[in-house]
């Protein structure tokens, strides 16, 4: 049942306001605040620079809504949410944001048993059409999982490697994955 979460969720603009508030005035004990400034910079850059490469407007007849589970401290979210927002705008999909650390919704969308984010959930009014994407494009997910198994890179080094991948990819893989996902609906 996604509708109760959707009704309580933040609009995308309210999420951006929340992000900026966390940046300027982090709540006591806010996790990973050192990354929020970096993520804000990435979020702003991608909001300005990401360009859609697929005809997402073709999906407007599906009458979909989307919920994204995320947090401002999440680097993968900073890399993906601005493009997901553009996709939703182009496809006339109403997008709302659920804060992972303030909701139990993530428990229904675990990745390999973990609460990895962002998770994008696309659904129609009756929730009969339903698809999820996340927490990151498949090549980055493989990189993260391979490193989890091997322990070859520290968290900071892995973050640098994933950032290089994101910069090189320019959200093309994300767009292709979501396009393919929506095409199946």
Helix (H) or strand (E) holding 177: helix 172-183
The rounded distance, in Å, linking the Cα atoms of 31 and 73 is: 7
Domain boundaries, given as residue ranges, for the chain: 3-183
CATH 3.40.30.10 fits 3-183, yes or no: yes
The pLDDT score that the predictor gives to residue 33 is 74
Q: Is 103 within 8 Å of 70 (Cβ atoms)?
A: no
Cβ-contact 54, 101 below 8 angstroms? no
- Strands ordered across the beta sheet of 119-124: 10-11, 94-99, 64-70, 119-124, 130-133
Tell me the per-residue pLDDT of 139-165, one tens digit each, with 9 for 90 and over. Answer: 999 999 999 999 999 988 999 999 999
Write b or e for each residue in 158-177: b if 16 or more Cβ atoms lie within 10 A of its Cβ, otherwise e.
beeebbebbeeeebebbbee
Higher pLDDT, 29 or 174: 174
Q: How far apart are CA 107 and CA 95, in angstroms?
A: 20
Place of tokens 């984010």: 117
Q: Is the pLDDT confidence value at 74 over 90?
A: yes
Neighbours of 145 (CB within 10 A): 12
Query: pLDDT of 25-69, one tens digit each?
Result: 988 877 777 789 999 999 999 999 999 999 999 999 999 999 999
């Amino acid at each position: 049942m996604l509708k109760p979460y959707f009704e309580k969720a933040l609009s995308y603009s309210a999420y951006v306001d929340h992000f900026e508030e966390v940046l300027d005035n982090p709540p006591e004990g806010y996790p990973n605040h050192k990354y929020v400034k970096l993520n804000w910079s990435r979020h702003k850059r991608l909001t300005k620079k990401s360009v859609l490469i697929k005809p997402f407007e073709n999906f407007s007849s599906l009458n979909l809504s989307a919920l994204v589970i995320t947090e401002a401290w999440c680097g993968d979210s900073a890399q993906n949410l601005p493009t997901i927002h553009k996709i939703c705008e182009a496809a006339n999909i109403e997008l709302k944001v659920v804060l992972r650390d303030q909701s139990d919704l993530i428990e229904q969308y675990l990745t390999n048993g973990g609460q990895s984010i962002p998770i994008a959930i696309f659904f129609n009014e009756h929730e009969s059409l339903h698809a999820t994407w996340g927490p990151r494009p498949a090549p980055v997910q493989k990189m993260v999982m391979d490193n989890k198994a091997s322990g070859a890179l520290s968290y900071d080094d892995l973050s640098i490697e994933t950032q290089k991948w994101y910069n090189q990819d320019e959200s093309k893989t994300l767009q292709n994955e979501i396009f393919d996902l929506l095409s199946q609906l």
